[in-house]
Amino acid sequence: MWQYTFKRLLQGLITVWFIATATFLAMHSVPGDPISGERAATEAIRANLAARYGLDKPIGEQYVIYIGNFLKGDFGISYTQQNRQVNDIIREHFPVSATLGILAVLFAALGGVLWGALTAIYRNRLPDTVIMFLVILGISVPSFVFAALGQLALVNINNFFGFSVLPVAGWGTVRHMLVPSLVLGMGTMAYLTRLMRSSMLEIIHSDYVRTAKAKGLPAERVFLKHQLRNAILPVVTVLGPAIAAITTGGFVVELVFAIPGLGRYFVQAVQQLDYTVIMGTTVFYGAFLVFMVILVDLLYGWIDPRVRVQ
Partner 1 sequence: MQEPISTEEGFTRSAIKQLAVLGASAVLIIVAVMYLLNFAASLTSTNVPGAAGAVDLENNEISIYLREDPPQLDTTRATDAVSGLVLGHLMEGLLRYDENFEIEPGLAERWEMDGTKATFWLREGLRWSNGEPITAHDFVFAWRTTLDPKVGSQYSFIFYPIKNAEAANTGTMPLESVGVRALDDRTLEVELEQPIAYLDKLVAFVTYYPISEKFYKSTNDRYGADAESLLYSGPFTMSSWVHGATLRMEKNPYYWDAENIPLDAINAAFITSDSNTLLNLYKDKRIALVDLTAEMLEGAMQQRWHLDRFMDGSVFYIEFNHRPGRLTANLNLRKALRYAQDDGELVDRVIKLPGYLPAKSVFPIWLRGVEGTFREEYPAPESEYNVELAREYLEKAKQELGISEFPPIVLLADTSPVATIASQYYQEVFKKNLGLEIVIDPQIFRQRLAKMSSGDFDLVLSGWGPDYNDPLTFADLFASWNLNNRGHFNNADLDAQVRIAQNSMDPKVRMDAFGEIQNILFDQVVFIGNYERGRVYATHPQVKGIVRRAIGAENDYTRAYIVPETTTP
Site for partner 1 in 210-239 (CB under 8 A): 213, 219-220, 222-224
Q: Are 280 and 84 in contact (CB under 8 A)?
A: no
Q: How far is the CB of 103 from partner 1 (least distance, A)?
A: 6
Q: How far is the CB of 174 from partner 1 (least distance, A)?
A: 5
Q: Are 105 and 246 in contact (CB under 8 A)?
A: yes
Measured CA to CA, the distance from residue 29 to residue 121 in angstroms comes to: 55
Q: Is 48 in the site for partner 1 (CB under 8 A)?
A: yes
Q: Are 166 and 175 in contact (CB under 8 A)?
A: yes
Question: From residue 91, how far is each of 11, 83, 171, 261 by CA, in Å?
Answer: 26, 15, 17, 10
Measured CA to CA, the distance from residue 4 to residue 21 in angstroms comes to: 26
Q: How far is the CB of 12 from partner 1 (least distance, A)?
A: 26
Residue 96 or 135 having the CB closest to partner 1: 96
Applying the rule CB under 8 A, the residues between 236 and 255 that interact with partner 1 are 255
Q: Is 31 in the site for partner 1 (CB under 8 A)?
A: yes
Q: Are 118 and 131 in contact (CB under 8 A)?
A: yes
Q: Is 177 in the site for partner 1 (CB under 8 A)?
A: yes
Q: Which of 32, 58, 60, 73 touches partner 1 (CB under 8 A)?
A: 32
Share of the chain residues as helix, strand and coil, in percent rounded to the nearest 5: 80, 0, 20
Nearest CA to 228 out of 205, 196, 190 is that of 196
Site string for partner 1, 99-118 (x = CB under 8 A): x--xx--xx--xx--x--xx
Q: Is 271 in the site for partner 1 (CB under 8 A)?
A: yes
Applying the rule CB under 8 A, the residues between 55 and 74 that interact with partner 1 are none
Q: Which of 29, 82, 124, 310 touches partner 1 (CB under 8 A)?
A: 82
Q: Is 273 in the site for partner 1 (CB under 8 A)?
A: yes
Residue 30 or 71 having the CB closest to partner 1: 30
Q: Which of 5, 69, 268, 291 touches partner 1 (CB under 8 A)?
A: 268
Measured CA to CA, the distance from residue 108 to residue 101 in angstroms comes to: 10
Q: Is 170 in the site for partner 1 (CB under 8 A)?
A: yes
Q: Is 172 in the site for partner 1 (CB under 8 A)?
A: yes
Residue 12 or 263 having the CB closest to partner 1: 263
Residue 67 or 255 having the CB closest to partner 1: 255
Q: Are 283 and 216 in contact (CB under 8 A)?
A: no
Q: Is 39 in the site for partner 1 (CB under 8 A)?
A: yes
Residue 176 or 194 having the CB closest to partner 1: 176
- Can you list the alpha helix ranges (DSSP code H) found in 72-206? 86-121, 126-140, 143-161, 174-204
Measured CA to CA, the distance from residue 255 to residue 265 in angstroms comes to: 10
Nearest CA to 107 out of 230, 243, 200, 292 is that of 243
Q: How far is the CB of 165 from partner 1 (least distance, A)?
A: 10
Measured CA to CA, the distance from residue 204 to residue 264 in angstroms comes to: 44
Which stretch in 7-15, 64-72, 80-88, 292-300 sits in contact with partner 1 by CB under 8 A? 80-88
